[in-house]
């Protein structure tokens, strides 16, 4: 038989053990409630910084070059936004960045025509450069900066497809670095990259974060001409996110060409691209809408001229904010 003293010791031990179990259970319940509360709380999204090109025309459809920031109002989904910057940019320095990797083999003819039409639409005061890329070790400048259209066309006609793992971020990184060198001597120009690619970044040395860091406060605008008709369904979402994000972060626009696109669609997108390039002004604002995975409609209003003449402001119809901005 157990002694009375031992019975008491066992009783005290059981009491202490039960207290520990009870405390642990209460802590677990509290932690579960805290986790549930945090999961129920709405996520705080970082603001979306928006940059866009604006063209201003007079009643004769001629460019108006004397606009001031107070003459413009910009609306996103009919909500007025406060402009944070306003610049006049001219002429254009355009980097043509052309993907020649194997996944674009069936579209190479269209790609060459797109690049040629981009050159044909440059003005006399504009300049361009041509960069061909496949993988990280196959990125080459076919034509340095030049206003000479014949030289650019000649380099475009030498484009051809090669096998290799596409390095879109690396090619963009090189183009951005070249443009940043140009910006050091002249920030009044409009600097842009026309990226003709399926935008599937397979094997870049530089990460997307590295690319965004390189872009930094540069004025370069990136316009992906996304040729995605042959891209695999498993890669489509990431390619779309890449193209949408890099264009939004730089004030460019993205033009998607997916299954069964037509030549008319290609030409319409090129026309839209060159309206952006011919736009005299670049505006910026911080959107009052922090939502992700959303498309927002844009419009601008322009104050009447000194003599009461009506003036028209043109801006892209909309822009898309990816889920991972």
User: Are 200 and 168 within 8 A, CB to CB?
Assistant: yes
Write down the pLDDT at residue 202.
Answer: 93
CB atoms closer than 10 angstroms to residue 219:
20
Given strand 312-314, what is the order of strands in its sheet?
83-88, 281-286, 49-57, 312-314
- Per-position DSSP letters for 226-237, written without gaps between them: EE-TTS-HHHHH
Taking every pair of Cα atoms in the chain, the longest distance, rounded to a whole number of angstroms, is 113
Write down the pLDDT at residue 11.
Answer: 54
Residue ranges for the chain with pLDDT beneath 70: 1-44
Any idea which residue has 């590295």 for tokens?
210
> Topology of domain 90-279, per CATH?
Rossmann fold (3.40.50)
Write down the pLDDT at residue 2.
Answer: 46
Write down the pLDDT at residue 172.
Answer: 98
Write down the pLDDT at residue 65.
Answer: 92
Token couple for 289: 């809408």
Whether pTM > 0.75 for this model: the answer is: yes
Task: In whole angstroms, give the CA distance from residue 21 to residue 218.
Answer: 60
Write down the pLDDT at residue 121.
Answer: 96
Write down the pLDDT at residue 235.
Answer: 81
């Amino acid at each position: 038989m157990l002694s009375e003293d031992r019975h008491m010791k066992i009783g005290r031990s059981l009491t202490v053990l039960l207290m520990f179990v009870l405390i642990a259970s209460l802590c677990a319940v509290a932690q579960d409630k805290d986790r549930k509360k945090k999961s129920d709380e709405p996520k705080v999204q970082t603001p979306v910084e928006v940059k866009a090109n604006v063209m201003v025309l007079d009643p004769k459809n001629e460019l108006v070059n004397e606009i001031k920031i107070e003459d413009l109002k910009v609306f996103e989904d009919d909500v007025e936004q406060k402009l944070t910057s306003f610049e006049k940019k001219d002429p254009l320095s355009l980097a043509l960045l052309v993907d020649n990797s194997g996944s674009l083999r069936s579209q190479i003819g269209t790609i060459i025509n797109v690049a040629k039409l981009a050159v044909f639409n440059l003005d006399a005061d504009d300049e361009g450069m041509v960069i061909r890329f496949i993988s990280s070790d196959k990125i080459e400048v076919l034509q340095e900066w030049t206003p000479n259209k014949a030289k650019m066309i000649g380099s475009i006609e030498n484009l051809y497809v090669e096998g290799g793992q596409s390095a879109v971020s690396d090619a963009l990184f090189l183009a951005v670095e070249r443009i940043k060198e140009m910006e050091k001597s002249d920030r009044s120009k409009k600097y842009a990259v026309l990226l003709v690619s399926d935008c599937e970044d397979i094997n870049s040395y530089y990460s997307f974060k590295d690319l965004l860091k390189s872009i930094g406060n540069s004025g370069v605008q990136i316009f992906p001409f996304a040729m995605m008709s042959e891209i695999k369904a498993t890669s489509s979402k990431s390619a779309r996110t890449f193209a949408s994000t890099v264009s939004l972060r730089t004030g460019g626009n993205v033009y998607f060409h997916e299954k069964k696109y037509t030549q008319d669609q290609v030409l319409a997108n090129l026309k839209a691209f060159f309206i952006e390039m011919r736009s005299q002004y670049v505006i910026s604002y911080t959107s009052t809408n922090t939502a992700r995975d959303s498309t927002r409609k844009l419009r601008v209003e322009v104050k009447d001229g000194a003599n009461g003449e009506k003036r028209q402001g043109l801006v892209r119809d909309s822009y898309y904010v990816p889920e991972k901005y």
